Amino acid sequence: MYALCDCNNFFVSCERVFRPDLRDKPVVVLSGNDGCVVARSNEVKRLGIKMGVPFYQIRQMAEQYGIVHFSSNFELYGDISSRIMTILGKYTDELQQCSVDEAYIDLSYCTDTEAAKAVAARIKAEIQKSIGVPVSLGIAATKTLCKVATDYAKHYAGYKGVCSISTEEQRRKALSDYAIEDVWGIGRQSAAKLHKAGVTTALEFADHTELFASNLLNLPGANTWRELNGHDCIALGDSPEKASITCSRTFAHGVTDRTLLEQALSEFCAKVAEKLRRQQSVCQEMMVFADTSRFLENRQTIYITLHFPIPTDNTQEMTLAMLRALRQRWQPNTPYKRAGVVLLSISPGKGVQQLLFDDRDRQRDTQLQKTIDRINSRTGKRTIGFMPQVDVKKASELYSIGAKSPAYSTRISDIITLHC
């Protein structure tokens, strides 16, 4: 048995942990530069506001209904996510985090479904009590059915946050009311093909033959078909390593200051390198880009592809290579509106081929990077970094974060002070 733990309206729930006055009030969290709605409270959903709608289109509605909006605070959300994953780790030997607000856990040690539901109820209660974020859990024999069960647990109050699909009757009933486009692993194009073939629900798809699924949707579709029919074929830890890693942002205003752009790109280098080390990989190519607004007549673009002679995961090496290349291509008085870093040619970090005449002390670089990562993991991500990286105080010059909440749990200056 597996269980999927999914945090309800996660970004909004994180904001409400430190703002209990916002419970039962309409709240939205906005994307970068306060552009679009990326998280909604249940009160906002009932108003008919869709995910991804530009905020300027609902500004009048927000004023009418008193909708509170926040800029994205990923530092806060990431810290709360790591705390939730720590709690989940207490209940299983195998945990796979799928996103910032979702994780699968192995409950095969439970003797039956009732025991698994009891464990899930304890998990839900502990996370609610210790952190204050509401979660829903779905229990089933496959990860795809877990996803279905979690959706039911989240949207139907009668399940009290925990739903299991353990019998054939429960499986068929759950899939009969589940739209095919909502099935995990069925993308937009696959859903269109299935609709064209007359398949609109998950049960209709599961009742077809495996050959039908394989011919129409190839191997991934066949695996989804097997999972919906109760055959576990996507084990924990099967998620592939990323073939590319990207970090990019759109700025609030055109950036003409080279130092400010260098700081932003250095920050992006640090983030992608951290993700690379986390999956224990190295990269041999890195693409750096910056361009002006697409609405300008004389649009200016910088695209640089950098090749590393030895595959690397070192932040300092990536940052120095980016700075040298950017300064050669820099165009003064050009308002760059967007920039980013993309890592390519990613491979496993073990057994990297070295060069005989390499001029870098890579053992020293590795030890330095490990020390920096260790310090930052204990005291905060921005404690030590390679210059230049964006200072927290200068972030407002690049991004619209006027409604950003404090980093309550990761920054000493933002810790709540109680006056008795």
Give the three-state DSSP class for 152: helix
Q: Which pLDDT does position 420 carry in this prediction?
A: 79
The tokens 């190519």 sit on which residue?
Answer: 285
Distance CA 47, CA 396 (A): 31
* DSSP codes joined into one string, 363-386: HHHHHHHHHHHHHHHHH-TTSS-P
Residue 88 scores a pLDDT above 60: yes
Give the three-state DSSP class for 49: coil
Domain contains 263: yes
What would the two tokens of residue 357 be?
Answer: 């005449």
- What separation, in Å, do the N-terminal and C-terminal C-alpha atoms of the chain show? 49
Residues 148 and 93 in one domain: yes
Residue 412 has, within 13 A of its CA and on its CB side, a CA count of 4
Residues 201 and 280 in one domain: no
Nearest to 329 by CA among 261, 385, 281: 261
Q: What is the mean pLDDT of the chain?
A: 89
Residues in contact with 242: Cβ distance below 8 Å, sequence separation at least 6, in sequence order: 275, 279, 281, 346
Give 111-122 pLDDT, tens digit per residue.
Answer: 899 999 999 999
CATH code where residue 290 lies:
3.30.1490.100
Residues 256 and 324 in one domain: yes
**Which domain does 90 fall in, by range?**
76-228
Domain contains 342: yes
Q: In the chain, pLDDT over 70 holds for what percent of residues?
A: 94
Residues in contact with 382: Cβ distance below 8 Å, sequence separation at least 6, in sequence order: 376, 389, 392
Domain contains 21: yes
Distance CA 398, CA 8 (A): 31
Residues 150 and 207 in one domain: yes
Looking at 203, 228, 253, the residue that finishes a domain is: 228
Phi and psi (nearest 5°) for 74?
-70, -25
DSSP state of 161: T
CATH code where residue 56 lies:
3.40.1170.60
**Number of domains, the chain:** 3
Element (H, E) at 266: helix 258-278
Domain contains 419: no
Residues 83 and 101 in one domain: yes
The model's confidence at residue 14, banded by pLDDT at 50, 70 and 90, is very high
What would the two tokens of residue 181 be?
Answer: 């486009």
Residues 207 and 315 in one domain: no
Residues in contact with 374: Cβ distance below 8 Å, sequence separation at least 6, in sequence order: none
Element (H, E) at 70: strand 68-71
Nearest to 353 by CA among 312, 306, 319: 312
Residue type, 315: T
Give 226-254 pLDDT, tens digit per residue.
Answer: 999 999 987 776 555 677 899 988 888 88
Give 353-400 pLDDT, tens digit per residue.
Answer: 777 777 788 888 889 888 988 888 777 666 777 776 655 455 556 776
Domain contains 165: yes
Lowest mean pLDDT among 18-22, 35-39, 62-66, 383-387: 383-387
Record the pTM.
Answer: 0.80
Domain contains 395: no
Residues 83 and 59 in one domain: no
What would the two tokens of residue 8 be?
Answer: 């309800």
Domain contains 234: no
The tokens 């030890």 sit on which residue?
Answer: 367
The model's confidence at residue 192, banded by pLDDT at 50, 70 and 90, is very high
Give 273-314 pLDDT, tens digit per residue.
Answer: 999 998 889 999 999 999 998 888 888 899 999 999 999 999
Give 313-336 pLDDT, tens digit per residue.
Answer: 999 999 999 999 999 999 889 999
Distance CA 404, CA 252 (A): 14
Residues 206 and 346 in one domain: no
Residues 201 and 120 in one domain: yes
Q: Which pLDDT does position 144 carry in this prediction?
A: 95
Contacts by residues 17-26 (CB-CB < 8 Å, ≥ 24 positions apart):
17/80, 17/131, 17/132, 17/133, 17/408, 18/405, 18/406, 18/408, 18/416, 19/405, 22/68, 25/66, 25/68, 26/65, 26/66, 26/67, 26/68
Looking at 46, 73, 100, the residue that finishes a domain is: 73
Q: Which pLDDT does position 60 carry in this prediction?
A: 93
* Bridge-based pairing state of the strands 27-30 and 68-71: parallel
CATH code where residue 177 lies:
3.30.70.270
Residues 250 and 374 in one domain: yes
